[in-house]
Amino acid sequence: MALLQINNLHARIEEQNILKGVDLTVGAGEVHAIMGPNGSGKSTFAAVLAGREEFEVTEGGVLYEGGDLLDMEPDERALEGVFLAFQYPVELPGVSMNNFLRQALNQQREHRGEEPLSAGAFLKRMRECAALVSLDPQLMSRSVNDGFSGGEKKRNEIFQLAMLEPRLAILDETDSGLDIDALRIVADGVNALRRSDRSFVVITHYQRLLNYIVPDVVHVMADGRIVRSGDKSLALELEEKGYDWLREEAVAA
């Protein structure tokens, strides 16, 4: 059975239809890339999967591990192993990284019937995960994303991914705004986290990232639908031709 099975998903916000029938199936351990022009609905798609309430699902459904994902609260989804790396990570002044992660992690452990981590074990785990994306451990005593550089914010998302060990990780343009060195660090981090029981949906605007995180399948989203799927060569084709031809296709369809 597929980890994630999305059928004819429609979603809207404020009377505006944004997702107009997304179909997507992701198997365990697979990496799917979703590419597409700005405004095509990629972030909306990610947010709907993570449970953002502002978006209303009007049609279609999502099965996650065979259960109805859309029926679950955002925190339930997280506890069941769904993780979203935000395109724009939120700054939380006054909420320390340390406290934030300890609460999140212990919540997840409790859900799995595990004891909370000891202070020592937590610290060790935090250092290891921070090292994975070369994140300065000093940041752990600072407020979440508050005053972090753009690159630090993105690496912080992957760091949290490493800490929380989800089964489905959705990365929303984690590459945008990163220089080539930072991109490599992030990609290496993600690659190190690939496992046979962990799937990735990697949303990106550029093909560049996919040189490092090699996807099993590439999908192209345009105007709220997946208009084409293929292997990694599709990404290269897009890089060459741009997105304009897709728009024409989407309109024609």
Q: Interface residues with ligand ADP (CB under 6 A)?
A: 13-14, 16, 18, 36, 38-44, 54
- Contacts to other proteins from residues 97-126, by CB under 8 A: 99-100, 103-104, 107-108, 111
- Contacts to other proteins from residues 149-178, by CB under 8 A: 160, 164
Q: Which partner from the list ligand ADP, other proteins, Mg ion, none does 86 bind, CB cut-off 5 to 8 Å by kind?
A: other proteins
Residue 25 found at the interface with other proteins (CB under 8 A):
no
Residue 7 found at the interface with other proteins (CB under 8 A):
no
Residue 43 found at the interface with Mg ion (CB under 5 A):
yes
For residue 241, the minimal CB distance to ligand ADP (Å) is 18
Are the beta carbons of 35 and 204 closer than 8 angstroms? yes
CA-based max dimension of the chain: 59
For residue 113, the minimal CB distance to ligand ADP (Å) is 36
Q: Which partner from the list Mg ion, other proteins, ligand ADP, none does 44 bind, CB cut-off 5 to 8 Å by kind?
A: ligand ADP
Taking the least distance from each CB to other proteins, the nearer of 62 and 218 is 62
Binding site for Mg ion (CB under 5 A): 42-43, 87
Task: List interacting residues with other proteins (CB under 8 A).
Answer: 50-54, 73-75, 77-79, 83-84, 86, 89-90, 92-95, 99-100, 103-104, 107-108, 111, 143, 160, 164
